[in-house]
Structure formats: structure tokens, C-alpha cells
Chain A
Amino acid sequence: MIAPRRLLTALIAWTVVSPAAGAAAQASTATISANVATLAKLTLSRSTAAFPDADPDTMPQVAATGGAITISVKARARPATVVLLTVQASGDLRSGLSVIPATNITWTATGTGFVAGTVSAVSPVTLASWTGSGLRSGTQSLFFRNLWTHPTGTFTVSLVYTLTSP
């Protein structure tokens, strides 16, 4: 024997959850949008590199101490566009009034998309390029062209790495 009150409650609940016979159907849409913007993130394993003094005859190319710089690139780009990593010197190597052209710094590179090159103080030089989004990594080994004609001193310059994701 079901109590009348419980029977009424069950009836109301069934009425609510079951589609009413003969009721009009209503379609509704929800528009989902996800904003995927272009991004560029560049990570270098070191922020300094030093070339020690050496005899130009025995070491015409001086490698930077500490080994290669590991470069990690994260880029989100439009389809079929080129993600570009460039290097440019802030100027020539300077020690007081003495100057050594930045072109005396060269590099070799490993990793997909990375290429060897010569530093320029005039314009950016391509270190790596890829098509489209992705995570990439490689290494860059810096070298200093060691010449007898270089003036003596402790020379410094900054290398600016720029990652562009179009």
C-alpha cells in the first residue's frame, strides 16, 4: 500500500523528467571559442661566454669556455609560417678604445633547423628557422677567430638572440 503523498510526489517527478507528449522541440547551440594566440619563448642555458687568451699559431680558433650553449625554443605560430631565431651583436668587441670586429665570432650548431654562421653587428644573422608551431632545441658552439693582428685587452660584447613567431 503506497501512501497517497508518496504517490503524488513520484507522479510529479515523472512529469518533470519525462518529455511532455506533444510539446514543441527547441534546439539550442552553444558556440565554443578557444583563443590560441601566437607565442614565442626562448631559453638559453647560459648568459655568458668567455674566450681565453691563446697562441694564434696553435689555436687559430678559440672555443668558448663552458662548452656549447643549449637553446630551447617554444613557438606557436600560424600554419605554414616561419619561426625564426636570429643573433646579432650589440656592436664590435671593445676594450677601451680598442676594437675587434664582431665578425671574428663564429659558431657551429647542432639540432634540426639550426645552422652555422658568423656574428654581425650590422644585421641579425639566422641561427635557426622552422615552419609552424612546435618545441625545438639545439646547441650553439661559439668560436673566436684568434689573430696576431688583434689588439690586446679584455674585450666584451653582447649577443642578442631574438625568436620571432609570426
Chain B
Amino acid sequence: MTKAVWSGVITAAAVLLCSTQAMAQQTDTKTVTITATVNAKAKLTVGPAAVSFADADPDVTPVLPASAAVTVDVKSRTTTNGAVTLTVQSGGNLVSGSDSIAIANLTWTAAGTGFAAGTMATTAVSLGGWTGGGTQSGTQSYLLANSWDYKTGTYTATITYTLTAP
């Protein structure tokens, strides 16, 4: 009788132990290491590609507005707190044959976050600046000082826009 009781107790304990193991939640974990490469980029869109100034009486219109504002779209990717810069630079003075108008007579106003007004030069002049990457959009409206001293002609100059994202 005693043997039967002990046998039952042992069996019950074994069953309990087994069911505890069976009931326990099991987990398995694995790890995947992710690497993402993000390089610096600079993308600049300027339009229209050409603007013009119509002839006008210097007394009536001392400052000539350009035919259209230039839309400037900037996209840049750089380091955290990296300085993104946008500059303009003229290839030279406004030229018509052997005549010229000093490029400093060309100025601009600007609209848009980070864009700034300025005066054109044959060295790089800041048109915009931002901290960190992202997209920016603004407009640049050119103005040409109108003077009685200018010799007649059709003058041209080429402006180079440079976006830098370090």
C-alpha cells in the first residue's frame, strides 16, 4: 500500500514537471546588422536659363527689372550642421562688342528662407546659405542700374551658380 502511494506521488511529480516544461514559453532570437551609406549630394535647379532687361529712359526707370525672376531650387545632403552654400559669379562685365557695363551694376533681391540679396561680381557672391541638408526654394530678381552713360548695344554676361554641400 505504502509503495503504491509513493509510486503515485512520484508519477504525479513527474507529470507536473513535464507539463511545466511543456507550458514554458520558448523564444529564439537572431540579429541582422544594417548598414546604410549616405553620401553628400548637391542638386541645383535654376530657371529660366536666360533673363533680359528691356531698354528704358534712365530718368523714368533708373533701375531696370529683369524680364522674369529666377527660380532657384536647392537640394543638398551634408553632415549634421554642415554649411550648404549657394554662390553666383559673373564670367565678366556685361559686354557688347568692345563696350562694357561694369557687372556691379547688376544687383538682385531674393525671396525664400536662406536666400539673400546682393551685388554681382566676378568673384563668388553668396546668394544663399543653410545649415544641414534638405530642400530649399527661392527666387532671385535681377535689377540693372540704368545710366545715361551706357553706350548703346545689346550686352550679355554669363552668371554661374554654384551649390556646395560639404
Contact in complex: A153, B25 (CB < 8 Å)? no
In whole angstroms, what is the CA distance A76 to B26 when docked? 9
A57-B43, A165-B27 as given contacts; A158 in contact with B78, CB under 8 Å: no
Contact in complex: A149, B132 (CB < 8 Å)? yes
Contact in complex: A166, B25 (CB < 8 Å)? yes
In whole angstroms, what is the CA distance A150 to B40 when docked? 10
Question: What residues of chain B lie closer than 8 Å to A49, measured between beta carbons?
Answer: 32-35
Contact in complex: A162, B31 (CB < 8 Å)? no
In whole angstroms, what is the CA distance A165 to B23 when docked? 10
Question: What residues of chain A lie closer than 8 Å to B27, measured between beta carbons?
Answer: 40, 162-165
In whole angstroms, what is the CA distance A37 to B25 when docked? 9
A57-B43, A148-B77 as given contacts; A41 in contact with B28, CB under 8 Å: yes
In whole angstroms, what is the CA distance A57 to B45 when docked? 13
In whole angstroms, what is the CA distance A144 to B21 when docked? 41
A148-B135, A152-B82 as given contacts; A40 in contact with B28, CB under 8 Å: yes
* CB proximity of B13 to chain A, nearest CB, Å: 12
Contact in complex: A38, B34 (CB < 8 Å)? no
Question: What residues of chain B lie closer than 8 Å to A41, measured between beta carbons?
Answer: 28
Answer whether residue B79 sits at the interface, using C-beta atoms and an 8 A cutoff. Answer: yes
In whole angstroms, what is the CA distance A162 to B32 when docked? 11
Q: Could you give, for residues 57-81 of chain B, a 1 whenever the CB lies within 8 Å of some chain A CB and a 0 otherwise?
A: 0000000000000000001111110
Q: Could you give, for residues 13-43 of chain B, a 1 whenever the CB lies within 8 Å of some chain A CB and a 0 otherwise?
A: 0110010011111111111111111111101
Answer whether residue A122 sits at the interface, using C-beta atoms and an 8 A cutoff. Answer: no
Contact in complex: B26, A51 (CB < 8 Å)? no
Contact in complex: A154, B36 (CB < 8 Å)? yes
* CB proximity of A65 to chain B, nearest CB, Å: 10
Q: Could you give, for residues 36-70 of chain A, a 1 whenever the CB lies within 8 Å of some chain B CB and a 0 otherwise?
A: 11111111101111111101110000101000010
A55-B41, A105-B34 as given contacts; A39 in contact with B75, CB under 8 Å: no
* CB proximity of B40 to chain A, nearest CB, Å: 5
A144-B36, A152-B39 as given contacts; A44 in contact with B30, CB under 8 Å: yes
Question: What residues of chain A lie closer than 8 Å to B38, measured between beta carbons?
Answer: 53, 95, 100, 150-155
State which residues 72-116 of A face B: CB under 8 Å: 76, 78, 93, 95, 97-98, 100, 105
Question: What residues of chain B lie closer than 8 Å to A100, measured between beta carbons?
Answer: 36, 38
Question: What residues of chain B lie closer than 8 Å to A105, measured between beta carbons?
Answer: 34
Contact in complex: A98, B79 (CB < 8 Å)? yes
Answer whether residue A142 sits at the interface, using C-beta atoms and an 8 A cutoff. Answer: yes
Question: What residues of chain B lie closer than 8 Å to A141, measured between beta carbons?
Answer: none
Answer whether residue A26 sits at the interface, using C-beta atoms and an 8 A cutoff. Answer: no
Return the contact of A97 from the options B31, B34, B80 (Cβ within 8 A).
Answer: B80
Can you list 5 A-B contacts (CB < 8 A)? Answer: A38-B22, A50-B34, A100-B36, A150-B77, A152-B82
